């Protein structure tokens, strides 16, 4: 259901989605110190987040790596169901790899947790104003990319398609092929085809190596 943006008489309503209670509580305390911001709900997974949308948030702050779900998939769902919602991705993962993908999934901004305390309030106000929020370094990187002819993707991970990237991410989080198929609303055969493409692009010989690679990749971010 469409919602009106926060006015000067109404505090901006915020939904926080993060599977770590300490992050949810700390972020809530920080944002509620602002007179014009109010955390209306906090959720630990995608199901809770979608149910929490009843509070009518203006902004959703979503972590990419939820314990039982994919934050990127949640971003896609929120963007599809709530086109006027401002979405800010908050993540521990390196923005050089994840920020552009998060934006393509429908996010309005990307903020690393290491910078959250100093920048989250400004990031929220930025995305509410209709701007894209990223760090200055990431803005510069994307500006350089737009200024020159597109080159081949850097590194093997960058060569993956959006869906292949999502499948690899879910493998790294410990989901089985069938669970990934259910989460992405695809058939098992389709997910197996994505896995085959990933193995070919990353020069991985079998499923065990793929799982090991995906887990190590997630842990390294």
pLDDT exceeds cutoff 80 at 220? no
177-205 average pLDDT score: 87
Q: At what angle do helices 162-172 and 188-202 cross, to 10 degrees?
A: 90
Indicate the SS3 state at residue 160.
Answer: coil
pLDDT exceeds cutoff 90 at 66? no
Average pLDDT, the chain: 83
Portion of the chain with pLDDT greater than 90, in percent = 38
pLDDT exceeds cutoff 70 at 142? no
User: What size, in residues, is the chain?
Assistant: 221
153-166 average pLDDT score: 76
Domains of the chain: 12-144 (3.40.50.2300), 155-220 (1.10.10.10)
Estimate the share of the chain in helix, then strand, then coil, as percent rounded to the nearest 5. Answer: 55, 15, 30
What is the H or E stretch that residue 41 is in?
Answer: strand 37-43
pLDDT exceeds cutoff 60 at 63? yes
5 band by pLDDT with thresholds 50, 70 and 90: very low
pLDDT 10s digits, 9-48: 689 999 999 989 999 999 999 999 999 999 999 999 989 9
pLDDT 10s digits, 73-108: 899 999 999 999 999 998 887 666 778 788 888 899
Tokens of 92: 């521990």
| pLDDT for res 135 | 75
């Amino acid at each position: 259901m469409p919602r009106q943006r926060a006015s000067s008489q109404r505090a901006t309503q915020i939904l926080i989605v993060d599977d770590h209670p300490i992050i949810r509580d700390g972020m809530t305390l920080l944002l509620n110190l602002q007179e014009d911001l109010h955390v209306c709900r906090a959720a630990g997974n995608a199901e809770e987040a979608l149910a929490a949308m009843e509070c009518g948030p203006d902004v959703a702050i979503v972590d990419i790596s939820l314990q039982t779900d994919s934050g990127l998939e949640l971003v896609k769902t929120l963007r599809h169901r709530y086109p006027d919602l401002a979405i800010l991705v908050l993540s521990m993962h390196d923005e050089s790899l994840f920020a552009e993908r998060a934006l393509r999934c429908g996010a309005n901004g990307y903020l690393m947790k290491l910078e959250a305390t100093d920048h989250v309030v400004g990031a929220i106000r930025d995305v509410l104003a209709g701007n894209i929020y990223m760090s200055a370094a990431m803005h510069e990187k994307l500006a350089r990319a737009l200024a020159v002819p597109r080159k081949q993707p850097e590194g093997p991970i960058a060569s993956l398609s959006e869906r292949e990237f999502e499948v690899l991410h879910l493998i790294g989080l410990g989901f089985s092929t069938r669970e990934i198929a259910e989460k992405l609303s695809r058939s098992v055969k389709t997910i197996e085809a994505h896995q085959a493409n990933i193995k070919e692009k990353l020069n991985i010989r079998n499923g065990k190596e793929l799982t090991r690679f995906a887990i190590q990749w997630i842990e390294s971010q």
